[in-house]
Structure 1
């Protein structure tokens, strides 16, 4: 699987652990994130992830910022992106099962690195249920 990842200054250590975990699982990573703790603007790292998912260059996206909100708002501006802000594993499961989310947003200041890795593993392995949820997901992108 190809996974695009982007993070701001709140997430370098998260990204490092996540990338290591995913590469051990055999996934290919497209890295758009910063590697420093110097202040940066999260949209500069979120939009490239969204473009990768939207264009099908990546199967899934992972975005990380302090609260997870700003970068989730950024990537959700893209028509084919459904980013879910996840802070516990149960939310990650529902984001996939019910919303067919294709990007997970991690709040680095409110989750541990281990929690983030666990959520991502669940997010990437949980299938979309379809059924009654399919029509709802279709309505997300309609105007």
Structure 2
């Protein structure tokens, strides 16, 4: 539990730092439309600014693509998890019904075993969700 809290705090701080850097970059003064009036010694600075803008745009595009891919992966994982839960619940319902050849006692014993098995399976599915969340947090 301590590891989870540490990771949450670290990622929150990283997010805050990214927002502050992004705000600083967006708030920096720009001389829009004044490239022709710049003295020759400022031309190198303008080229540096253009390179910086291109790099930033490229980074933003890369970040957006990564975010889209992560969202797609998460959606696919959620769908898989939902399918597993649905299949397990259907199987559980079938197993809980009494078979024709069973006595009352055999049926209750089998129900008890089936309930334990079902609980364990649902815990495994939930543990997979937690493992996926922690695994994606380490990327």
Give 1 or 2: higher helix fraction: 2
TM-score (norm 1): 0.18
Normalised TM-score (structure 2): 0.19
Q: Which entry has the higher C-alpha Rg, 1 or 2?
A: 2
